[in-house]
Amino acid sequence: MKTSLLVSTYNWPEALELVFKSVENQTVKPDEFLIADDGSKLETKELIDSYIKKTTIPVVHVWHEDEGFRRSSILNKAIAKANGDYIIQTDGDCIMHKDFIKDHKANAIKNCYLYGSRVSILESYLDTLFSTKKMRFHFFSKGIKKRGRTLRIPFLAKLYRPKNTLSDKLRGCNLSFWKQDFIAVNGYNEAMTGWGREDSELIVRMLNKGIKGKRLKFGGIVYHIWHKTASQHNFNKNDEIQKEAIEKKHTWCENGINQYL
């Protein structure tokens, strides 16, 4: 199985630098690293270019113009370029546990996506985080909440079974799926712009297609760096699109990844 690590980012190079450090710290490296850049400025590009010169992992930086929150579009563009069979997805504000890739690979099964949770790094800890560039956290670490999510217990992770229902635990910052399953539902719905529902609406269509979801608990850990919440001005529109996908059992979106393949 060939893996593609996918990270979305937008104008936060300080956080992205920590993400890069956590990629290099992985016990199992991805076969390639896709950076989905939703219109960041030059400072982010310079950081990425510097990282590419240092890493041994093949990196693909996909960028488009900043025309507002278009995460669905940039993720489709990046996944269209993926050479991996299996996509492991997180965000540019999430530090990965050293076994993040290893755990997603170990729990991957056919006709199934995985979804994990996140440990929260507190706002009050950010100065310390960025000055020390801390990579590792544990149950008793300072500056975090949701401490139970720091526990990595592989044999317990294996006890979870695939289900055909949408979980409210689903987060796009800790998600993995087969590329062929993503393409089968036409990927992210680019009718959804602005923050909210783009990940869960994708998963609704996967579930309608017969692809089940498995919770990745006690493994696949990420540490989410606090930031201000994005504007939710389009949330109601996106929520209606998801409700329609549920009610009409959509397995396909019109404006998706097919335009880049």
pLDDT (tens digit per residue) in 18-31: 999 999 999 999 99
7, 35 contact by CB (below 8 A): yes
| Predicted confidence (pLDDT) at residue 223 exceeds the cutoff of 70 | yes
Give the distance from CA 211 to its chain's centroid: 18
Whether 233 shows a pLDDT value over 80: the answer reads no
The residue type of 158 is K
Residues 26/30/34/37 CA torsion (nearest 10 deg): -10
Say what the pLDDT of residue 230 is.
65
pLDDT band at residue 89 under the 50/70/90 scheme: very high
All structural domains of the chain with their residue ranges: 3-260
Residue 148 pLDDT greater than 90, yes or no: yes
pLDDT at 91 over 70: yes
Asked whether residue 157 carries a pLDDT value surpassing 70, the answer given is yes
Q: Report the pLDDT value the prediction gives residue 259, as an integer from 0 to 100.
A: 97
Contact assessment for residue 78 and residue 62, using Cβ atoms and an 8 Å cutoff: yes
Query: Any idea which fold 3-260 has?
Result: Spore Coat Polysaccharide Biosynthesis Protein SpsA; Chain A (3.90.550)
User: What pLDDT does 231 receive?
Assistant: 65
Label residue 232 by pLDDT band (50, 70, 90). confident
Reported pTM: 0.96
pLDDT bucket at 234, cuts 50 / 70 / 90: confident
Mean residue pLDDT across the chain: 96
User: Nearest CA to 77 among 34, 23, 33, 13?
Assistant: 34
Q: How far is CA 235 from CA 6, 160, 175, 242, in A?
A: 24, 31, 21, 11
Model pLDDT for residues 134-144, shown as the tens digit of each residue: 999 999 999 99
Identify each DSSP E strand in the chain by its residue range: 3-9, 32-37, 59-63, 86-91, 94-96, 112-116, 118-121, 144-145, 175-178, 212-216, 222-225
